[in-house]
Structure 1
């Protein structure tokens, strides 16, 4: 048995209110950060993503070297890691402590040899160093407050410009880099500064909404672009031919500017409200611009089109994925819920679509799919909601306590696991309630007519559901920890039960006894289980970041997908009708890093 990674569907960038998010591009791919992970995303194909999880602190910015061989990424602790993006193992080239605080931006020079990192350091606000040795290549000085951005001229003679919260731009000559002059054009925080690819000019934007142009060699202010933004301008980027600039603003607009005439040639309005504020920007190809909404969605604009808005919007989870389920009525599709209450549907190509309508306001703790294709969701806002098509319906049920999980039966009944009870809901009405006398319910699974409920006393209790009440018919006691995940096999004859100790016990349902307790390679709580269509293999995902695929016929054999999801696995699901006689199938895993990874699993080598 073996596996190969075939796809990665990236998360969307992290956004913070009132703060910009740095985006960059390399070979028509965009580069950004989310949590402790760096993502390199292909705009055209969502499956061709790259994820790097080598940081121990939250990442803040990442940029690929001009040669395209290495990526430099920085985090909130002031650490810069340079790693290889050509090889699959993403080998670390070097790790350097640039400043003693959060790094807000970094930039490579045109020779892919030197890096300048800037931010909120306690001893200094910026540092210039060689990417391979870490040796200093000058001083980045002149600011009295946090530095927000840095830009380097890629042609010799090298120049660098830094922008900060002291409303200043500091111009440096190099190399080695040394202070040259202070530029006082903006009246409020300077949010971004970027050099044109030609090196002839650089431009800046700030909280005053203004856009300024400067001479690239001398650092002198050339002109102000008239009629800037009505709100904070967070980001700018240059077209590859250095003839145009795009800017993104909190006024929810993206503007394209002609550098020669200093006039706005196109203004895209994205809507109203906080979620539509534009907080990041990068020119992805000669005619394509990507702007980031505060919601985390990436808006793709094509200046050749006559569209008044984006030609495409790239979606994905922005926070940790907390639950996932495949949709049996639409093969290859699946639905995920995240820690911020969002629910997204993925199609077989990996394109994500957010579920519209009034959704959850807090963590999505459970998903279930009914026999007619409806998706039922539960959240920490204490509501159970219904999804039909691509939108939440008006149907809603208020739970008596915070829901922990969901399961459904063919008669349309949805079972909601609460803190001390299990509620049976049909047509948004409670039809039954179970209050166990001992132990608190922790997990649930259903396979007509049985409902299995896991408890924190390490036991699984089986109940018969007749449409009106739950009647206990069996007790399973081989687990060694609180039962955290349950899954019936499709044939209904087996039940997999994962617990907080990392063990997965396989039970024989008719005999009410364990088949094997040797599925015990996880070292932390099991969060998710998923069976193949032929009931011969079961996948498990756990807090230890690993995914295992277990065999019923050969319990001692398994496929170990180590470090599958940094931070922990919260969902595993088979995307294809995986069967042993067909040799395997596609398995997806998702969790703390908000991305979805897909592997081709082969049962027979």
Structure 2
């Protein structure tokens, strides 16, 4: 038995309000990369579903950039470390690791000869450093700033120059190597957020929190011009968070907290076009990239927008949107399992629900309809095949019903206790709240029963009226639904409190996981439950977060905070498939089956991974 990784459904960039988000490209212009959590995502710019992930940082990654040679990527994290790793091999072999700063690194750039790296950020003794990429030795002194550095850049042509943008409202200009301070530029009145050299090295542009945009001579650092909106006193009404040049060094695209992107002709010093993205806070633009014919911007929501800079005033300028999660995924389900193109449904701890085409990776958000989306973490999501709907519950104490035809929230029920989980069969849905069990039929609550333990999970039989509830009292409580009431049938004692329960689709087995990392599989005969695992399914080293049965009820998949997933077979209890480091360095949160040999897993890295299991 073996397994293989088929696809990665990538997360969105992690964004922060009031700060720019790094996005960069490879020298050939075929890929773009960004960071989220401790991961670096490398995606095809033409086919974004093609994705690779680097996950070797132990801290939150802040920036990653290709070397101009294309053979290496340097990535930096909030602890001040820089890792230089290979891009040619699939394993991404580490070349060097250095610690140039004692605090978070905010920006990083390579010199044009791929020999030197310039970093800027936070620190105790200094806020920037330039060093040799092979040896780590200093190749200059980055001084002249009194506060953390937000952005750095190298002049891409000889003679080499570099410039840094600081929170002390200034730019510092350096000549080298070895790089030495030449001058300080004080045109900005507030934080300078970003500075970028043109591809031909003749000019560089800076943008700040004051909404101003200044152009400087690339060789001397002298101020050349200020770019202004003719209808205002500055370039933007809000802070400028990112800038990018076109490949011919003629145009600059600026993005801002005023929810716009603006295209400027640098030589003519005029505004070509303004792109308005919306009126919500999530429409603030915090990152951008211009590579060949592709222009990308990043919204505060994390959404990546492909825009057409040549679109007419009455045309839609957004030609493609990449959506997904930017926060940890907490719930996972598959709709239409076994179909040609099952849908993957995922919910995250910020209340976002996304549906994915499992074949081509196309995705979209579940939209607000008659009611709005969850305002807090999505605890559980289940597919109701009988009514062609999704049922979700969240930490906002609400159960929501989603129409699969329109992919919109249709109705909701408010709970009086916090929901811990939900499950559904053709007749009803059961919500396990902290101290209540709620029975729902046809979208209405028809029964509520108080319980004297704290529930953790719930599952219902598909073809019979039995409900299993896991509790923090170290027991699984099995109820029968009789005349819309929960009648206790049997209690199964476990070694520790129960973390997950799941009935097989054919109702022959009940799988149980507890906090002592044990997995049990009970064979069901009437009201009798007998353990068939004999204590052999104890391979996890951390808390088990979810259980999932294959559609044919032959295999059971587990997910755990130890980053591993196991696939067990009750008919052969000694055999299993071990998916090692399914999401490296990130706890698994859920798993689900697309068909009898395809498994998807989710994690705190905001990604979904699709696996092929060979039995």
| The two structures share one fold, judged by TM-score above 0.5 | yes
Offset at residue 429 of structure 1 (A): 2.8
* Residue 300 (1) aligns with residue 312 (2): no
Which residue is 1:567 aligned to?
A: 586
CA distance in 2, matches of 1:105, 1:373: 47
User: Out of 416, 430, 438, which is 1:400 matched to?
Assistant: 416
CA contact (8 A) 2:329 2:602 kept: yes
CA distance in 1, matches of 2:325, 2:609: 13
Post-superposition CA distance 1:188-241 (Å, at most 9, x none): 211100111111211111112122222212211211112111111110011122
CA contact (8 A) 2:11 2:324 kept: yes
Post-superposition CA distance 1:393-427 (Å, at most 9, x none): 3411111211111101211x221111112111224
Which residue is 1:581 aligned to?
A: none
RMSD across aligned positions (CA): 1.6
CA contact (8 A) 1:527 1:542 kept: yes
User: Out of 335, 339, 349, which is 1:339 matched to?
Assistant: 349
User: Out of 228, 253, 256, which is 2:260 matched to?
Assistant: 253
TM-score in terms of structure 2 length:
0.93
CA contact (8 A) 1:270 1:309 kept: no
Structure-2 change in CA distance of 1:3 and 1:305 (3 Å): farther
* Residue 355 (1) aligns with residue 370 (2): no
CA distance in 2, matches of 1:466, 1:243: 74
Which residue is 1:33 aligned to?
A: 35
Structure-2 change in CA distance of 1:182 and 1:362 (3 Å): same
Structure-2 change in CA distance of 1:332 and 1:132 (3 Å): farther
Which residue is 1:582 aligned to?
A: none
* Residue 442 (1) aligns with residue 456 (2): yes
Which residue is 2:542 aligned to?
A: 524
Post-superposition CA distance 1:560-602 (Å, at most 9, x none): 1122123211111112x21xxxxxx221111111011112111
Post-superposition CA distance 1:509-565 (Å, at most 9, x none): 224111113121111111111122222111110111111111223212221112212
Which residue is 2:506 aligned to?
A: 491
CA distance in 2, matches of 1:556, 1:105: 51
CA distance in 1, matches of 2:330, 2:483: 29
Structure-2 change in CA distance of 1:409 and 1:533 (3 Å): closer
* Aligned positions of 1:306-317 closer than 5 A: 306=312, 307-317=315-325
Post-superposition CA distance 1:350-402 (Å, at most 9, x none): 12211111111111111111122211111111111111135443411111211
Offset at residue 328 of structure 1 (A): 2.1
* Residue 512 (1) aligns with residue 524 (2): no
Post-superposition CA distance 1:300-341 (Å, at most 9, x none): 112344443311111111110001011127642111110111
Which residue is 1:555 aligned to?
A: 573
Secondary structure in 1 matching 2:532: strand
* Aligned positions of 1:89-168 closer than 5 A: 89-168=91-170
Which residue is 1:482 aligned to?
A: 497
* Aligned positions of 1:57-456 closer than 5 A: 57-227=59-229, 228-283=235-290, 285-306=291-312, 307-328=315-336, 331-348=341-358, 349-357=360-368, 358-370=372-384, 371-389=386-404, 390-411=406-427, 413-437=428-452, 439-447=453-461, 448-449=463-464, 450-456=466-472
- Structure 2 unaligned regions, length at least 5: 230-234
CA distance in 2, matches of 1:131, 1:8: 30
Secondary structure in 1 matching 2:318: coil
CA distance in 2, matches of 1:426, 1:265: 58
Offset at residue 465 of structure 1 (A): 2.3
CA distance in 1, matches of 2:170, 2:303: 31
TM-score in terms of structure 1 length:
0.95
CA contact (8 A) 2:153 2:163 kept: yes
User: Out of 536, 539, 545, which is 2:557 matched to?
Assistant: 539
Which residue is 2:232 aligned to?
A: none
CA contact (8 A) 2:335 2:383 kept: yes
CA distance in 2, matches of 1:369, 1:434: 24
Secondary structure in 2 matching 1:275: helix
CA distance in 2, matches of 1:459, 1:334: 31
CA distance in 2, matches of 1:419, 1:118: 47
CA distance in 1, matches of 2:255, 2:208: 11
* Residue 590 (1) aligns with residue 608 (2): no
Which residue is 2:5 aligned to?
A: 5
Offset at residue 262 of structure 1 (A): 2.1
* Aligned positions of 1:16-27 closer than 5 A: 16-26=16-26, 27=29
CA distance in 2, matches of 1:196, 1:467: 74
CA contact (8 A) 1:385 1:392 kept: no
CA distance in 1, matches of 2:109, 2:443: 55
Secondary structure in 1 matching 2:275: strand
Offset at residue 81 of structure 1 (A): 1.4
CA contact (8 A) 2:366 2:409 kept: no
Offset at residue 47 of structure 1 (A): 3.0
Runs of 4+ in 1 over 6 A off after TM superposition: none
CA contact (8 A) 2:351 2:373 kept: yes
